[in-house]
Structure 1
Amino acid sequence: MTRIIADISVSLDGFVTGPDPGPDNGLGTGGEALHTWAFSEDPDDRRVLREATARSGAVVLGRRLFDIVDGPNGWDDTTGYGAGEVGKPAFIVVTSSPPETVRLADLDWTFVTTGLPAAVTAARERAEAASSTSGKDLDAFLMGGGATIGSALAAGLVDELTLHLAPVVLGSETQLFTGGAPRTLVQRSVTSTSTVTHLTYDVL
């Protein structure tokens, strides 16, 4: 069955970017440390990345994150989704208005203007269709940014939460959790590597 999985790297003090993020500095000052694990040669880091990419039938992201990854300093052949792992799922972008042009035109982009729940529904449908085509169970991933994942958790749209807890304190900027109703989590797995601690929870 297709699950909705929120998957994001976070600092020890709960931030998903460092100070002063922007189009030319997407992760903010010091924020690159959050994603060191994605480019690590540690076998457990590679396994976590490979398994998540292989499970991705569709991916949801917010408009600000899209503008960064599609911008001139965004994704390329070595830094795209999965950081070099094989796989190009459908990408669903939550936005009030679609962009006029897309630089990464070789990827499958859908722009949803009717809100986050509609985008999650579209991603689930795309992942289910991909599952039928491939013959294996695929999931829909929310890759961020932080506001998108926080809103999805608050709205009860998430089945599973995966945090990649990086050993860095960023001090300020984009927080992952900013309030809202309490959520009950059930820990499923913990994998510690040389670069990060991978935490997976079921969201009840």
Structure 2
Amino acid sequence: MTRIIADISVSLDGFVTGPDPGPDNGLGTGGEALHTWAFSDDPDDRRVLREATARSGAVVLGRRLFDVVDGPGGWDDEVGYGAGEVGKPAFVVVTSAPPESVRLTNLDWTFVTTGLSDAIGVARRRAEEASSASGQDLDVVLMGGGAVIGSAIAAGLVDVLTLHLAPVVLGAGTPLFTGGAPRTLVRRSVTATTTATHLTYDVV
């Protein structure tokens, strides 16, 4: 069964970027500390990253995050979603208007202009197609930014929330949660390493 999984790194004070994020400073000031775990040699960090990539049938992201990863200082063959891992999923971008051009033409991009729910629906179909082709259950992963994940949780579109809690206090930046209806979470797993505490919850 294809699940909708929100997966994001967050600081102890609830921010998914540092202050002043932008195309040339994607994670904001000090925000690189959020993703230290993703470059760690710790075997548990490597396993968490490997398993997350392996389960990804399609990935949803917002336009601001797309502009960062597709920008001149963004993803390449060594840095990016699934870099160094097997295969690459389809990417679905929520946007008001598609970009005029794409730098990362080796990746499978779909741009959805009719809202987050429709984008998740497109991603679900792509993940189900990938599941059929591979013979294993693959999921839709919402990788961010924070507004996309927060909105999806508030709208009841998320089945699983995975947080990579970094041992850093950023003080300001892009918050993951900005209000909305209460949600009950059921903790399924906790993995603590020197660089992060990896938390997985079912969203009830």
Q: Please indicate, yes or no, whether the TM-score normalized by the shorter chain is above 0.5.
A: yes
Which residue identity lines up with residue 97 of structure 2 in the other structure? S
Superposed displacement of residue 83, structure 1: 4.2
Aligned twin of 1:9: 9
Separation of aligned partners in 2, 1:105 and 1:163? 29
Matched, 1:112 2:112: yes
Separation of aligned partners in 1, 2:32 and 2:173? 14
Aligned twin of 2:64: 64
Superposed displacement of residue 78, structure 1: 1.1
Aligned-partner SS, 1:71: coil
Separation of aligned partners in 2, 1:178 and 1:84? 34
Separation of aligned partners in 2, 1:117 and 1:123? 10
Superposed displacement of residue 87, structure 1: 2.3
The runs of 5 or more residues in structure 2 that have no matched partner are none
The runs of 5 or more residues in structure 1 that have no matched partner are none
Superposed displacement of residue 185, structure 1: 0.4
**Quick check: 1:38–1:83 contact (8 Å CA) kept in 2?**
no
Separation of aligned partners in 2, 1:100 and 1:180? 34
Give % identity. Answer: 84
Aligned twin of 2:201: 201
RMSD value, Cα: 0.6
Separation of aligned partners in 1, 2:171 and 2:104? 33
Which residue identity lines up with residue 16 of structure 2 in the other structure? V
Alpha-carbon displacement from aligned partner over 1:146-175 (angstroms, at most 9, x marks no partner): 000000000000000000000000000100
Q: How high is the TM-score relative to the length of structure 2?
A: 0.99
Aligned twin of 1:33: 33
Task: Give the count of matched residue pairs.
Answer: 204
Alpha-carbon displacement from aligned partner over 1:18-58 (angstroms, at most 9, x marks no partner): 01111100000100000000000000000000001000000
Runs of 4+ in 1 over 4 A off after TM superposition: none
Aligned twin of 1:151: 151
Aligned twin of 1:55: 55
Separation of aligned partners in 2, 1:10 and 1:33? 10
Aligned-partner SS, 1:59: strand
Alpha-carbon displacement from aligned partner over 1:74-113 (angstroms, at most 9, x marks no partner): 0011111034322210000000000010000000000000
Q: How high is the TM-score relative to the length of structure 1?
A: 0.99
Separation of aligned partners in 1, 2:83 and 2:36? 11
Aligned twin of 2:166: 166
Which residue identity lines up with residue 66 of structure 1 in the other structure? F
**Quick check: 1:61–1:142 contact (8 Å CA) kept in 2?**
yes
Matched, 1:184 2:184: yes
Aligned twin of 2:88: 88
Which residue identity lines up with residue 130 of structure 2 in the other structure? A
Aligned-partner SS, 2:17: coil
Superposed displacement of residue 194, structure 1: 1.3
